[in-house]
Structure 1
Amino acid sequence: MTATSDEHLIFAGTSDLAGLVRGKGFPARDLDDRRATGVGYTASNIMLSAFGPIYKTPFGTTGDLMLVPDPAAGGPVPGEDNQTHMLMPGDIRHEDGSAWSCCPRHFLRRGLDALEQEFGLRMLSVFEQEFTYTGVADRPASSYAFDLFRRSGRFGPALMGALRAAGIEPDSFIAEAGDRQFEVTVCPRLGLASADETVLLREIVRGCAASLGHRASFTPINSPDGIGNGTHIHFSFRDLSGQPVTYDPNGPFGLSPQAAAFAAGIVRHMPAMTALTAPSVASYYRLRPSKWAPTRADIALADRGASLRVCPTFSTDPDVIARRANLEFRVVDAAASPYIALGCLVHAGLEGLRHGLVLPAAGSGDAPPLPSSLAEALSLMAADPAPRAWMGQTMFDAYTMLKTSEIEVLSGLSEDEICRRYAEVY
């Protein structure tokens, strides 16, 4: 019998409207062809729910699209049985190569292109990722503790190595505040690369845990009384020559005119865009008082309870301050596609820049509350014309249908049961 060897495969995927990576695999030797023809995709695939089935779809069974992998965005992901899998995020396109209106990656790209073309700005950003790791036992007093860090064993070193192997530069790995909770951060990237790396990072975290016989979960919250897994987005700006343009010591909150107007757009549209950045029913169990999570559409200096935080730079050197100055958006979790979450910030910020919006004064105390449920968030999104304009009518309607059906499926379950459903998925 002739011995056979395994053939290398590539998985072309998108982080879809449910925030899950879905797509198809193909032989690596076919990559050149697949860069042109992609893998087959149908419009209703974007309606795959967080729990698997397509509950409703506006697209039916008709129409063919292609999911085209981007080699520059790809990287190796570890997994079970010492296997490594090549994941390549990509774009959903029509047969003629034009972008499909519901492609999450293109949603972000459109905003970034407008930011550069209209205002000469590029966004530098990074996602902080919190997650729960099952490879350690929960013990009292584990929050931020060396004890929890130590007991994670090979997981942290394996994760750092796998990130580097994928071309992602690690920044930190820490034990967090929740039960068996950790956080991983990496170095910021310009433009689309930040979201691409976040798609890879989440799968690398899951893959490293699986390779050790355990699981990593990015579920928004494990129990309604617990501490949530947030996904905070740090961002700043560079001009077209690469110079930082976020800081101005004389501006509101120490922000430049461009950064202040951008932030004002986010604050203005935050209650509506929460439907896109905190997009699960369980997300709203995290956004409650006394959970160190945001509850109002506000901005503040160095306040970890604010929705939009102006971060400290830990320096007195003006040049260093200018390079390090950044804002942190905290109304996000990993039920959101990185492309949609970051895209929301860009599109909302563009609204602020285009209309010269002004930030509320520090300590004004009149910030509106964030929605308390996904249903309320969807209603606020429908009442604000901006998200519909950002997404386009087709994507807006598809997303609203997807999330409405998710609410309906969970109707009648207790909060504990709902948390368990999401924990099985994310």
Structure 2
Amino acid sequence: MDQTERDARSTLATTLLGPLSERGVVGVATTFVDNSGVARVKSVPLERLPHLAAWGVGSSVSFDRFRFDDWIVGAGEGREAVGDLRMMPDVRRVVPLAAQPGWAWAPADRYAQDGSPHPQCGRLLLSSLVSALQASGITMKAAVEIEWVVSSAPGDDLVPGVSGPAYGMARLVDASDYSRDVLTALAESGVTVEQFHPEYAPGQLELSVAPEDPVSAADTSVLVRTVIAGVGARHGLRTSFSPKVAVPGVGNGGHVHVSLWRDGTNLMAGGAAEHFGLSPDGEAFAAGVLTHLPALMAVGAPGVTSYLRHLPSHWAGTYACWGLENREAAVRMVTGSPGASSSAANIEVKCFDLHANPYLVFAGLIAAGLAGLSSSSRLPDPVDVDPAVLSADELEARGVRLLPRTVTDAADAFEADPVVTSAFGSDLSASILALRRSEAQLFDGVSDEDVAASTRWQR
């Protein structure tokens, strides 16, 4: 990053001071998401925003090894306390936080002190892989579904904060004022919400947002959760995005939707009928994702709690297979209604959750998809039933296998996958492996109930 770019960033930030001040903003928070999926923050008074934009704010290199509980998983060399990075906010994405009056937010990229990109910055990694995809003439549209549970209990206990049956209007009535404020705050934050409804578990809600480019989609995922938690706090409710808030029942997913486009044409539509309209490139990308999905579980389902959610016949996508509108397949083909496929068709990856770093999730999907594109990969036959009802012989005949059942299995699959580890680089891959194995060791022998309680409020 040279002085010309720093000056341009500072100038753009200066133009924001007046409008932000008029909105009552006095402080700007800038965040990055660490390798455990936790949003870490630094903030400055509003008048410091131009300096922040140009020069960033200091951040320890040790955050690459922060476990969800703030334990630093060292590499055994004692270097975690040495060195500093600069968190550089993307001032194009500065957003006043409607649920936190006086505050604005911006996502950050991380650079070394000399201005070179930090090799473990998930947002910069994603940006580079988006560029690699665009070099093949393809752009991606993406979005993350957000599921959460609200609790009215004091402290760390869990008592559903809204009542009513799954998907029921009674629950929406009970949560009417809260839900109105969530939708209002998101709209004021520039987020386009496409759907909102009560979900399956007690106290659970869900919303879907409009698709964007992958970096913006990851930013929006962080912003949406920040806004939802802020609205909850103002209503006296605590918010959990955990994949397993309580052991009985279903958990919170973080389903990812992606579609590929070339020259304004959706590559997930208009192709072969036997593959529900996927074009050859759309099929190759989806096949790459399916092939490398076991390794991607270490990124998209990053904690011990993630695997408490991964139960067959719970719509968690526990089997590495794909199918049309099959909510038990890890990769669900969504065509949309007849006549709308050209705009609506996409694939949904159902096996990920919201403890994941969304930048790493999209980076991993693109790396896997690019590998599929480069080898013109083909999908296996689709699965049109819940794979759990198939016998072991039938599963083997169809080439359907269970995804990793533990975070240790996922880490092993990640380590053994040269496509994903090469895309992520040695330093980032080593941190991911160390963190996953450290968390597995932390919870070795711990009851499921205690695991769920320990990670319930992680975000």
TM-score band (shorter)?
A: over 0.9
What's the counterpart of residue 62 of structure 2?
A: 44
What's the counterpart of residue 341 of structure 1?
A: 361
After superposition, what is the alpha-carbon deviation per residue over 1:60-101, rounded to whole angstroms, capped at 9, x for unaligned?
A: 22222101001222323345xx63421111100112322110
The 2-side partners of 1:369 and 1:137 are apart by 32
Q: Structure 1 residues 144, 7: closer, same or farther in 2, change over 3 A?
A: closer
Whether contact under 8 Å (2:250, 2:314) holds in the other structure is yes
Whether contact under 8 Å (2:218, 2:358) holds in the other structure is yes
Q: Structure 1 residues 54, 250: closer, same or farther in 2, change over 3 A?
A: same
Whether contact under 8 Å (1:56, 1:405) holds in the other structure is no
Q: Secondary structure at the match of 1:297?
A: strand
Instruction: Confirm whether residue 133 of structure 1 aligns to residue 150 of structure 2.
Output: yes
The within-5 A match list for 1:283-362 is 283-315=306-338, 317=339, 320-362=340-382
What's the counterpart of residue 99 of structure 1?
A: 117
TM-score, reference length from structure 1: 0.93
The within-5 A match list for 1:175-214 is 175-214=198-237
What's the counterpart of residue 453 of structure 2?
A: 420
Number of aligned residues = 414
The 2-side partners of 1:381 and 1:245 are apart by 28
TM-score, reference length from structure 2: 0.86
What's the counterpart of residue 244 of structure 1?
A: 266
Shift, 1:214, TM fit: 0.8
Shift, 1:411, TM fit: 2.1
The within-5 A match list for 1:10-159 is 10-57=28-75, 59-79=79-99, 83-117=101-135, 119-135=136-152, 137=160, 142-159=165-182
Q: Secondary structure at the match of 1:270?
A: helix
Instruction: Confirm whether residue 391 of structure 1 aligns to residue 424 of structure 2.
Output: yes
Instruction: Confirm whether residue 379 of structure 1 aligns to residue 399 of structure 2.
Output: no
Q: Secondary structure at the match of 2:398?
A: coil
Whether contact under 8 Å (1:73, 1:197) holds in the other structure is no
What's the counterpart of residue 230 of structure 1?
A: 253
After superposition, what is the alpha-carbon deviation per residue over 1:319-347, rounded to whole angstroms, capped at 9, x for unaligned?
A: x3211111111111011011011111111
The 2-side partners of 1:248 and 1:256 are apart by 6
What one-letter code is carried by the residue in structure 1 that aligns with 2:127?
A: R
Whether contact under 8 Å (2:133, 2:370) holds in the other structure is yes
Shift, 1:22, TM fit: 0.4
What one-letter code is carried by the residue in structure 1 that aligns with 2:118?
A: W
Q: Secondary structure at the match of 1:154?
A: helix
What's the counterpart of residue 262 of structure 1?
A: 285
Shift, 1:139, TM fit: 8.4
CA RMSD of aligned residues (A): 1.8
The 1-side partners of 2:239 and 2:91 are apart by 26
Q: Secondary structure at the match of 2:41?
A: strand
Q: Structure 1 residues 242, 249: closer, same or farther in 2, change over 3 A?
A: closer
After superposition, what is the alpha-carbon deviation per residue over 1:222-245, rounded to whole angstroms, capped at 9, x for unaligned?
A: 233320100111111222x43323
Deviates more, 1:369-378 or 1:28-37: 28-37
Gaps of 5+ in 1: 1-5
